[in-house]
């Protein structure tokens, strides 16, 4: 395992982005935020990649930003603005990652940790997980993009409850409100994640990439088809993956989409 606070692991079609400060419950440093877009760009270049799994070491996902750095990063308006841009760039890069992203959540997922989880496409957690979006405890606000991702996940009414109260939710409530796809004990959660990753890894890379792009357009407010989305839909019928997919359907066999992206 790497000694870096944030690193990539590659396992065939699945890559892991690992938060690795277990002694600090994976609280995020400025250096980690700065490194995230670089690592994501590196992962996106892997031809075989189909799924990115984001996880934390040591029984925690992420307990938030490293408050020990706040005195320096918020010392001036200029440094605060620069830090806010770095965090936004990291979260936006994760949300825009071209392939599906799954968050494996155990233990605390608070503040910035919840921001990371909300930038993933699917979230799975354990009953011991704790979720919280807590700017109201610190006299702060929540950026618009992060707020939109929270609303997309749980709806307006529950987003207001979570933000106004700054309360913590356990894994079962997170599942009940749609913040996570499923809440299971650790072993069952890991089996479910492995199954979902395997299912996604067997799908067409072109379909995954196109679907992710269109879903992000919807999340960003696009309400109807554009010339670009119509072209994406039409061009899919000319792809090698489509020809393999319908031949496999007719021949009653599993498709082989290993030909690349």
Tell me the pLDDT of the chain (261 aa) as tens digits.
Answer: 678 999 999 999 999 999 999 999 999 999 999 999 999 999 999 999 999 999 999 999 999 999 899 889 999 999 999 999 999 999 999 999 999 999 999 999 999 999 999 999 999 999 999 999 999 998 999 999 999 999 999 999 999 999 999 999 999 999 999 999 999 999 999 999 999 999 999 999 999 999 999 999 999 999 999 999 999 999 999 999 999 998 999 999 999 998 654
Q: Tokens at residue 82, please?
A: 């620069």
- Domains in the chain, ordered, with CATH? 6-200 (3.90.226.10), 204-250 (1.10.12)
* Residues β-bridged to residue 132: 110
First CA to last CA distance, the chain: 29
pLDDT (0 to 100) of residue 110? 97
Q: Which residues of 29-68 are buried (b: 16+ CB within 10 A; e: fewer)?
A: bbebbebbbebbeebbebeebbbbbbbbbeebbbbbbbee
* Residues β-bridged to residue 130: 108, 170
pLDDT (0 to 100) of residue 261? 47
């Amino acid at each position: 395992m790497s000694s870096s606070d944030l690193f990539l692991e590659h396992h065939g079609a699945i890559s892991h982005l690992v938060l690795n400060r277990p002694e600090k419950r994976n609280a995020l440093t400025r250096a980690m935020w700065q490194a995230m877009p670089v690592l994501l760009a590196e992962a996106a270049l892997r031809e075989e990649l189909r799924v990115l799994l984001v996880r934390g070491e040591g029984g925690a996902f992420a307990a938030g930003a490293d408050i020990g750095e706040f005195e320096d990063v918020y010392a001036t308006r200029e440094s605060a603005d620069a830090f806010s841009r770095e965090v936004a760039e990291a979260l936006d890069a994760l949300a825009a990652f071209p392939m599906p992203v799954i968050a494996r959540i155990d233990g605390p997922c608070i503040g910035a940790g919840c921001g990371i989880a909300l930038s993933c496409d699917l979230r799975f957690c354990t009953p011991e997980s704790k979720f919280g979006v807590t700017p109201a405890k610190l006299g702060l606000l929540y950026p618009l993009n992060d707020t939109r991702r929270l609303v997309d996940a749980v709806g307006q009414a529950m987003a207001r409850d979570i933000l106004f109260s700054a309360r913590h939710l356990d894994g079962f409530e997170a599942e009940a409100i749609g913040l996570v796809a499923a809440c299971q004990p650790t072993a069952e959660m890991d089996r479910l994640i492995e199954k979902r990753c395997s299912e996604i890894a067997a799908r067409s890379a072109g379909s995954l990439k196109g679907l992710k792009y269109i879903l992000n357009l919807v999340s960003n407010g696009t309400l109807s088809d554009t010339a670009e989305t119509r072209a994406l839909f039409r061009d899919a019928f000319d792809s090698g993956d489509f020809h393999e997919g319908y031949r496999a359907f007719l021949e009653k066999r599993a498709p082989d989409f290993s030909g690349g992206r």
